[in-house]
């Protein structure tokens, strides 16, 4: 019996898909919001719970280590047991951990809660893009969906800084975690009916899950991220950093060997045969490493050099979020459809080089309007680059590997973020210390340190541009348009019904 689809049924499916996108975007907003909102509340947390300066860093590090090391594993498990199940479980863990963090009365409890938040975030975030790309198969609609998803992440970072300052000053630091409770509960309630049900092959498919591979990759990533986030404390050339880095590389190398030989790999290496997947992940690592220096070091420059407060700093960075949102939601999908992902990515990267280039010249007594506002407006490059990069990073993955590709894309983002924060912050601090020791004024020494970090960040974006130019290929727009037209056709017949009829007419023209 041919499958039919009425206009009403098609409209219902369309509304359901966009509602599902809203759920995924809200989950992303909650994750990104939590990552940035905690930074402005750190002094209050330290004072209230009695953290030492070294111990305070673990409020951030515990989250980063859990999040970054578990994304790849969570993405693959989502492919095997169902991405909807993984998203719901992760959102539930994150929400419960937020409650625990809000009621914490000791450093140990808060650090444990932050680690659990990282676990929950990894579970939910790892499969979000995988769900998105299976919901939106037509290239134009997928570009729009990814633009919404990308904007949510960018907006969450800026909103988190503003909201963190307001909540901490008006109420208490606990409320930066309590605010996740209504968002998390609402996300779960809407996600249950909105997200499409999916059944993976199960953990036993093909001989069982690769437990040894899971242990190797999770331990290797955990040690590697730990080594990176402690660079500022121990130094890049210290025995601590080099020893843990070597052990991490050995474990990850063992993981790759295991994946090449096992019959049921956790991460099938075929995913790296796609130039789009491999190139996009490398570009993202370089770009994120540079741009997290923009988000964090610009905020530090405003507070330590210009004397801005926490709330004022967040408000000063809002134009960046606004322009990123306007570009992401307003024009990026149309530009990608017309010129292609690679062209728009290169354009966005060019603007981002301009962002960091201007920051290398900001003075000690900067004017916001003339020195900083142009930087915020050029951040529109992120609104162009990230949606195009996300489309490229997911385009080469098969449907059965969508969760893995999503987890891999998020993993490289976290590694880039950790590297950017650790390396660029260390460079800035080293330059500042040397100038301070030479008798330069504090504000001047700080500004010079930030200039160095911004210059290295600009070099990283230029490297990303070179990789995008040489490795990534422009998709064939004719094939893309043909696929989009096919995906948007009404489902009046199953493909199996049409194809035999076509072949029969060709074989017998008189029929």
Q: Identify the DSSP state of 271.
A: G
Average pLDDT over the chain, rounded to whole? 76
Q: Which residue has the higher pLDDT, 486 or 144?
A: 144
Q: Which residue has the higher pLDDT, 209 or 438?
A: 438
Interval 398-423: pLDDT, tens? 666 666 677 777 778 777 877 777 77
d(CA 390, CA 405): 10
Helices and strands in the chain, H and E counts: 23, 0
Determine the average pLDDT of the residues in 335-353. 88
Q: Is 264 helix (H, G, I), strand (E, B) or coil?
A: coil
- pLDDT value at position 2? 45
Res 266 pLDDT > 80: no
| Structure token pair of residue 171 | 């109420």
Res 453 pLDDT > 70: yes
Give yes or no for a contact between 292 and 228, defined as CB atoms under 8 angstroms apart: no
pLDDT band of 461, cuts 50, 70, 90: very high
The CA distances from residue 205 to 77, 131, 209, 215, 347, in Å, are 12, 21, 8, 19, 44
DSSP string computed for 370-412? IIIHHHHHHTHHHHHHHHHHHHHHHHTS-GGGHHHHHHHHHHH
| Structure token pair of residue 29 | 């907003």
- Closest to 107 (Cα-Cα) out of 66, 165, 48: 48
Q: Is 217 helix (H, G, I), strand (E, B) or coil?
A: helix
Span of 164-168, 204-208, 236-240, 391-395 with lowest mean pLDDT: 204-208
d(CA 352, CA 330): 19
Interval 55-81: pLDDT, tens? 676 777 788 777 877 777 787 777 777
Which of 80-94, 135-149, 153-167, 202-216: highest mean pLDDT? 80-94
Percent of the chain, pLDDT > 90? 8
Interval 193-245: pLDDT, tens? 888 776 655 555 444 556 777 788 778 877 877 787 677 677 777 888 888 88
The residue behind tokens 């460079």 is: 427
Determine the average pLDDT of the residues in 174-191. 85
Give yes or no for a contact between 384 and 348, defined as CB atoms under 8 angstroms apart: yes
Span of 263-272, 275-284, 319-328 with lowest mean pLDDT: 263-272
- pLDDT value at position 495? 41
Give yes or no for a contact between 91 and 125, defined as CB atoms under 8 angstroms apart: no
- Closest to 32 (Cα-Cα) out of 182, 137, 149, 116: 149
Res 158 pLDDT > 90: no
Q: Which are the contacts of 101, defined by CB distance < 8 A and separation ≥ 6?
A: 110, 113, 114, 117, 177
Quote the pTM value.
Answer: 0.70
pLDDT band of 498, cuts 50, 70, 90: very low
| Structure token pair of residue 400 | 């059965």
């Amino acid at each position: 019996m041919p499958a039919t689809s009425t206009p009403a049924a098609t409209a219902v499916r369309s509304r359901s898909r966009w509602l599902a996108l809203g759920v995924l975007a809200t989950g992303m907003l909650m994750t990104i919001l939590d990552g940035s909102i905690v930074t402005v509340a750190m002094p209050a947390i330290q004072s209230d719970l009695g953290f030492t300066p070294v111990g305070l860093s673990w409020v951030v590090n515990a989250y980063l280590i859990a999040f970054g090391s578990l994304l790849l594993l969570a993405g693959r498990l989502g492919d095997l047991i169902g991405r909807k199940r993984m998203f719901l479980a992760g959102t539930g863990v994150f929400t419960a951990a937020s409650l625990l963090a809000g009621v914490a009365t000791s450093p140990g409890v808060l650090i444990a809660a932050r680690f659990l938040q990282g676990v929950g975030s990894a579970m939910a975030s790892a499969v979000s893009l995988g769900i998105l790309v299976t919901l939106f198969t037509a290239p134009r609609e997928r570009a729009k969906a990814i633009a919404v998803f990308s904007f949510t992440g960018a907006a969450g970072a800026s909103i988190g800084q503003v909201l963190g300052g307001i909540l901490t000053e008006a109420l208490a630091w606990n409320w930066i975690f309590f605010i996740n409770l209504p968002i998390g509960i609402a996300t779960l309630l809407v996600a249950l009916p909105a997200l499409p049900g999916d059944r993976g092959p199960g953990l036993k498919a093909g001989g069982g899950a690769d437990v040894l591979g899971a242990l190797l990759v999770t331990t290797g990533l955990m040690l590697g991220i730990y080594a990176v986030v402690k660079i500022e404390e121990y130094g890049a050339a210290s025995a601590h950093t080099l020893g843990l880095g070597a052990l991490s590389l050995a474990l990850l190398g063992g993981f790759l060997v295991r994946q090449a030989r096992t019959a049921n790999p956790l991460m099938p290496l075929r995913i790296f045969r796609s130039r789009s997947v491999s190139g996009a992940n490398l570009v993202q690592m370089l770009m994120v490493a540079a741009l997290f220096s923009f988000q964090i070091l610009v905020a530090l420059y405003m507070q330590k050099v210009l004397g801005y407060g926490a709330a004022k700093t967040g408000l000063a960075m809002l134009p960046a979020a606004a322009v990123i949102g306007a570009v992401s939601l307003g024009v990026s999908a149309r530009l990608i459809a017309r010129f292609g992902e690679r062209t728009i990515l290169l354009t966005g990267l060019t603007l981002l080089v301009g962002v960091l280039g201007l920051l290398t010249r900001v003075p000690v007594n900067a004017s916001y309007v003339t020195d900083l506002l142009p930087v915020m407006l050029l951040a529109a490059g992120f609104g162009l680059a990230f949606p195009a990069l996300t489309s490229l990073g997911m385009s080469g993955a098969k449907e059965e590997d969508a969760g893995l590709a999503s987890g891999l894309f998020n993993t490289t983002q976290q590694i880039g973020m950790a590297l950017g924060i650790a390396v660029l912050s260390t460079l800035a601090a080293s330059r500042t210390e040397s100038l301070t020791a030479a008798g330069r004024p504090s504000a001047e020494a700080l500004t010079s340190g930030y200039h160095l970090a911004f210059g290295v960040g600009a070099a990283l974006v230029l490297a990303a541009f070179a990789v995008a130019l040489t490795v990534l290929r422009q998709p064939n727009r004719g094939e893309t348009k043909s696929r989009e037209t096919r995906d948007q056709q009404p489902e009046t017949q199953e493909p199996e019904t049409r194809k035999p009829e076509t072949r029969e007419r060709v074989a017998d023209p008189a029929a």
